Amino acid sequence: MTTKPVKTLANKRVLLGVSAGIAAYKTPDLVRKLTELGAEVEVILTRNADQFVAPLALQAVSGRSVHNYAMTAESESGMGHIDLARWADVVLIAPATANVIARLCQGNADELLTTVCVATEAPLAVAPAMNQQMWQNPATEENIKTLAGRGAFILGPDSGEQACGEIGPGRMLQPIEIARRLGTHFQLGAMAGKNVMITAGPTWEAIDPVRGITNHSSGLMGYALAQAAVESGANVTLVSGPTNLSPPERAKAINVTSALDMHAAVFAEIDDQDVFIGVAAVADYRPVNSVTHKIKKNADEMTITMVKNPDILADVASHSKRPFCVGFAAETNDVIDYARGKLERKKLDMIAANHVGSSETGFGTPNNAITLITNDSVTELPKQNKYALARVLMNEIAKKLP
């Protein structure tokens, strides 16, 4: 009796980039394995990849027309590079040649696939396939390290006999193994059907119509968490203060300005939520009176009287219909102790403590490192790209849900 595979890629959109290596002949089978796990697959070939695999075969198994390397007026009038970049939940490059890996590292946008990789916010997964000498070349080693450091998921390579007759590392993993690892890595579906609300960014506390008090929060960590929650199958509401970021396509975005606005937006929908993650750097105080006209600089001194803002996270955690509550504690010293204090004081289920003293992690930087604390556990999530970290964090939250 055969058992049906668990659909770890249910509803997920996999953009498969096929580059010009001999292992490309296995990609129709890879498409089959991905679709068997529930994925929708859209294929882009790089220049010359059609020498190793017939586009028609890929079209037949994916049920969609296959994109070639060129960016022409005709191809762009259909699903162009930006549409493809937005469409993807994950970009999988298999096989990934040494050449395409090098171009990805440099951020080249010299043909359709590399352009989509530069334009997308979707995570990147790479299944290298090349001769063993090429795989062990220091340039390739460095390039792989660079991609992994930016959060790319490196699948393989396998070791063994190669198409060129040599024996060593560099073979592409078998299609079934690539599909299986992709599903497991992204843990897609871990939050399927859950309602997740996330606050992000800074707040702006007006002094007058043109001036205000704010902070350096970029919003990146909260937006990355919203993206990770969408990828894991949740219905996501992102309540954000002013940032320069675009919310994930399938999240419901609510833009607010002040802490009071944010509090109101959160409480308007809190009863429906299963999880609340407070990532916003909410201003602790606001000017008592925000005047409606611009203040003139007549006096030598001016005093602004401030009043305390509500603590949105603490209010959610003590709400009668309370979701699973996760807070963030940005600290410069005694990080764990302060974070544990906040966990207890605000009655949270989990707190993510991060060191903001360092120039390498925290506010405005692409990377972050977190210590995740609950009443009975402490888990270190090492320094990594905020998008990669967000996916790990989302899986940790999913494990704690009823």
Could you tell me which stretch among 55-63, 123-131, 173-181, 324-332 binds ligand C5P (CB under 6 A)? 324-332
Using CB under 6 A as the binding rule, the residues of this chain from 135 to 194 that contact ligand C5P are none
From candidates 30, 280, 370, 397, binder to ligand C5P by CB under 6 A: 280
Q: Which is nearer to ligand C5P, 311 or 349 (CB)?
A: 311
Q: Is the peptide bond before 157 cis (omega within 30 degrees of 0)?
A: yes
The correct pick among 58, 155, 225, 282 for binding ligand C5P (CB under 6 A) is 282
Among 40, 50, 89, 311, binds ligand C5P (CB under 6 A): 311
- Provide the edge-to-edge strand list for the sheet that holds 13-18: 40-45, 13-18, 90-96, 124-128, 153-154
Choose among 270, 280, 213: nearest CA to 240: 280
* Under rule CB under 6 A, residue 279 binds ligand C5P: yes
Residue 202 preceded by cis peptide, ω within 30: no
Nearest-approach distance from CB 330 to ligand C5P, in angstroms: 7
> Helices 27-36 and 55-62 meet at what angle, rounded to 10?
10
For residue 46, give the amino acid letter: T
Q: Does residue 327 belong to the site contacting ligand C5P (CB under 6 A)?
A: yes
205 belongs to the binding site for ligand C5P (CB under 6 A):
no
Query: Going residue by residue from 291 to 310, which x/- string records binding to ligand C5P, judged by CB under 6 A?
Result: ------------------x-
**Residue 355 is a binding residue for ligand C5P (CB under 6 A):** no
C-beta closer to ligand C5P: residue 172 or 372: 372
Q: Does 199 bind ligand C5P (CB under 6 A)?
A: yes
Cα 92 from Cα 6, distance rounded (Å) = 20
Shortest reach from residue 353's CB to ligand C5P, in Å? 10
Outline where DSSP puts E strands in 107-223: 124-128, 153-154, 158-161, 167-171, 195-200, 205-206, 212-213
Three-state DSSP at 381 gives: strand
Determine, following the binding rule CB under 6 A, whether residue 200 of this chain makes contact with ligand C5P. Answer: no
| Total H helices, total E strands in the chain | 14, 19
Contact residue for ligand C5P among 312, 317, 353, 397 (CB under 6 A) = 312
Q: How far is the CB of 344 from ligand C5P (least distance, A)?
A: 12
Convert residues 366-395 into a mask of x (bound to ligand C5P by CB under 6 A) and - (unbound): ------------------------------
Tracing tokens 């219905």 back to the chain, one arrives at 235
Site for ligand C5P in 237-266 (CB under 6 A): 259
Burial of 243 (0-12, 13-18, 19+ CB in 10 A): middle
Query: Is 28 or 201 the residue whose CB approaches ligand C5P more closely?
Result: 201
Cβ proximity to ligand C5P, 25 vs 267, nearer residue: 267
- Of the candidate spans 45-53, 292-300, 326-334, 391-399, the one that interacts with ligand C5P by CB under 6 A turns out to be 326-334
Instruction: Give the side-chain half-sphere CA count within 13 A for 167.
Output: 1
Output phi, psi for 97, to 5 deg: -80, 165
C-beta of 184: minimal distance to ligand C5P in Å?
Answer: 30
Residues catalogued as catalytic? 164
Q: Which residues contact 27 (CB under 8 A, 6 or more apart)?
A: 16, 18, 43, 53, 58, 94, 95, 175
Residue 317 vs residues 361, 371, 400: alpha-carbon distances, Å: 27, 20, 16
235 lies in the binding site for ligand C5P (CB under 6 A)? no
Q: Are 280 and 199 in contact (CB under 8 A)?
A: yes
**Which spans of this chain sit near ligand C5P (rule: CB under 6 A)?**
199, 259, 278-280, 282, 309, 311-313, 327-329, 342
